[in-house]
Structures are given as C-alpha cells and as structure tokens.
Amino acid sequence: MATISLCIIAKNEGKRLDHFLTHHEPLVDEIILADTGSTDNTKKIAGKHSKVTLFDIPWEDDFSKARNETLKRATKDWILILDPDEEIAVVDFKKIRRATNVEKADAYMLQQVTPVLEQRPSYLVSSTPVQNILVRLFRNHQDISFRYRVHEIVESVLVEKKKNIFSLPVIIHHQGLQQEKKLLEAKHEYYKKLIALELKELPQDPKPWFEMGSYYYFREKYKDALPYFEKAAQLSVRTAKPWDFLGHTYYKLHQDEKAFDAYRHGILVSQDVAGDFRNLAYFFLREKKEQLAQQAFGESLKHDPTDIPTLNNAAFLFLRHHQQEKAEQLLKKALQEAKNKNIKAPLQTFTNLAMLYLEQRRNEDAEAMFKQGLQHQHPSAYINLAQFYEKTGRKQEALTILQEAEKKGIKDETLQKIKEELS
C-alpha cells in the first residue's frame, strides 16, 4: 500500500485548522505543515495532532518557495497538496488511496470547486461556482517542484519530465471566496503585486501576462486587459486559452474581425477543431452576428465537411442572404451525408430546400421536399405541406394532409387553425 504526505502552508488559520487536520488525518500517513508567520494559535493547534510535522518558514512573497519547502520534508510515496480552506469528502478517500497504487500514474488532476458569495466584489460578476482542474496528487520525487510566485503549479515540471498525468474524479471543495468583500479584494490586490513581480522576472513566460490580463478582464477593464492577453497569446502560440481570452477581449471592445481571428487561432490548436468552430458559430448567432457565424460555420466545414447540423445552419444563413446556389449545394450535401450514414436527414434540411425551391418557383421540387419531411411525423412537417397546398389553391389536398395528421394522433394549434380556415 502506497503512503501519502499531506503538504500544506498556513498563516493565521486557527479558526479552521483543527477541523481541517482532523478531517484529513484518516486519509494520509503524515502531514507536513509550514507556518509562514502566524500570530494566532495556528501552531498550537497543529502541535496537538500526532501526524503533523510543523516548521516555520519566513514569507518571501512566493507561494512556490513555501510549498517546495514542504516537499523537501515529505517522506512518503505520494504528495497531496491542500490548503486549510479546502476539503475532500470522506467518500473520496478510497479513490485517492486506490489511485496511488496505479503503477503507470505519476500524478493526478483533481477538480477544485469554489462557491461564490452573494456579497462578492463587483469583478466576480457570476454567482456560478468557479471550477479549476489542478494537479494536487503526485509521486514524491526530488526533481518535482512548484513554480511561480502566485497561482503556483507543478504541472509544467511534470510535463517537462514526461510524467504520466491522469484525471481523478475527486472534488476539492474550496472556500477561498467565502470571505468578507474587503478581505477578498485585499487578497487579489496582493496577488496582482506578485504577478507584477513575475512579469519582471519572467518576461518571456506567458502565464503572468495571462494572469494580469485576467485581473483586468474580470473587472471589465478590457482596454487594460488587451495588451497583456496579446502578449500572452504571442508567447503561447500552441495554447488555446490565451487566444480564447484575447478573442473575448476584442469582442468586448467591438473589434469583431480581430476577435474572430483570435478565436480561430485558439480553436486550431484545440482537440475538436470542427466542433469548436461550430460552437463559436452558435455563439455568434445568439449575438446576431450572422456574418461572423457564417465564417465560423465555413471553418468548421473545412475540418469536417460531413457534419449535417453545420451544413444545415450554414445553408440557412446563405438562404437568409439570398445566396441560393451555395445554400442548395450545402443542403443537397446534407441529404447525401444522411444517406451515407444511413440516418434520416433532419426535417430542417427538407424544409430549407423546400423554401429555396419555392423562391425559385420550383413548386414540384418544393412539394417533394415537404413530403419527404413527413417521415419525421412532426407537426411542423404537416403544417408546411398543408400551408403549401393551401397557398397553391389545392384545398382538398390540404384537407387530406390534415386528416392524415389527425389519424396519426399528431395535434397542434396551427393544424387546427388551418383546418378551420379550409372548412
């Protein structure tokens, strides 16, 4: 059975430390606690717990330096990193223990979930819990250490050392935003100071540039955020996140084309290029930016020309802008792809083609498409065909379609209204 060292740093955590230690002691074999200058009873509480190895460390504006001191003193096989304002549920203890016995694994990513107070600083614009995926459990190797003064991580070292990192379905419940507004704002201002130091020390590292951009972005200071995101993107060509936030910032500043280019770059280095472009197109549709949506659908089709929803949506936009030839090509391709995949073509495909043919006064072709749509047994398919017959003076055929819908138990207020108009 593999053993675990819980490594933590603390300062003035007297109010919650006893609960934290008592709760996690059954999970681990030792607890390494670095005190960075407490003036309350933090050290006294720590001294009451037999598994705790307590030592003092001077605070030097560097979270990584403090964490690495705890790693040096850890003696067990695995290291678990937590803070006193975090907690892992007891039901997940067995998952962690089992994970440490997987031979191929060197490290695990856990999900940190942080609820947001209603009385929060204005820059925390959402009440949705904040979620982060972080490596917090890893083998005890002397060549593994944390980096960065603030928002410290071990991931970059693990990647450089070509360690095997897996995902572990365990939540770290974090109460880091459950503080008074003034205290929380003071903490984030201190973090900003540390990020500024990193910008001087690590000018070619994208992380501090990105974090300073984020500081301004979440305070809705988009002009201030922009140069930091631009630099972060420039320094991390193959990482999607800086490009995504650069796109968000351009978009907030109403620089749509630059936003699209930034999103495009970020998507091209993602895992699902076609899907991400499609999602971007849907975003632009919701924002009523149809030209940008069309560009995004086009990019999606370059990477997956067989996706039927994308073909349909791109064709619909061409129809809206009276580009009938392009719309027809895409809709016919959607029908062919449905046939190739041995599935029903969506009702939207038949309807869009029928509407296109109506604009071209190709009534027979439109009727054929409306009829094919009936295979979906959806009220709108019967409504479309009944209205087509009604408008082309074929009252009896319209009534026949309505009767067919009624026999099949397909009911709709519009169908009933058409029936009353024809009676």
pLDDT one-digit tens code per residue, 248-287: 999 999 999 999 999 999 899 888 898 889 889 988 988 8
pLDDT for the residue numbered 120? 44
At residue 178 the predicted structure's pLDDT band, cuts being 50, 70 and 90, is low
Residue 338, judged by CB atoms within 10 A of its CB (0-12, 13-18, 19+), counts as middle
Tell which phi-psi region holds residue 57, choosing left (phi > 0), alpha (psi between -120 and 50) or beta.
beta
Edge-first strand order for the sheet with 30-35 is 52-56, 30-35, 4-10, 78-81, 130-139, 107-114, 165-174, 86-88
pLDDT at residue 113, as a whole number? 87
Higher pLDDT, 296 or 271: 296
Please say if the pLDDT value at position 352 is more than 70.
Answer: yes
Percent of the chain with pLDDT over 90: 76
Mean pLDDT lowest among 103-117, 157-171, 352-366: 103-117
pLDDT tier for residue 129 given thresholds of 50, 70 and 90 = low
Cβ-contact 54, 31 below 8 angstroms: no
Check whether 126 has a pLDDT greater than 80. no
> What pLDDT sits at residue 116?
59
When mean pLDDT is compared across 12-26, 167-181, 262-276, 295-309, the lowest value belongs to: 167-181
What pLDDT is recorded for position 176?
66
* Confidence at residue 17, expressed as pLDDT on a 0 to 100 scale: 96
Strands 4-10 and 30-35: parallel
- The pLDDT tens digits for 307-318 are 999 999 999 999
Instruction: Please spell the DSSP secondary structure of 246-257, one letter per residue.
Output: HHHHHHHTT-HH
What's the pLDDT score for residue 127? 44
Rg (CA), the chain: 30
pLDDT of residue 72: 97
Domain 4-183 has CATH 3.90.550.10: yes
pLDDT at position 99 is 97
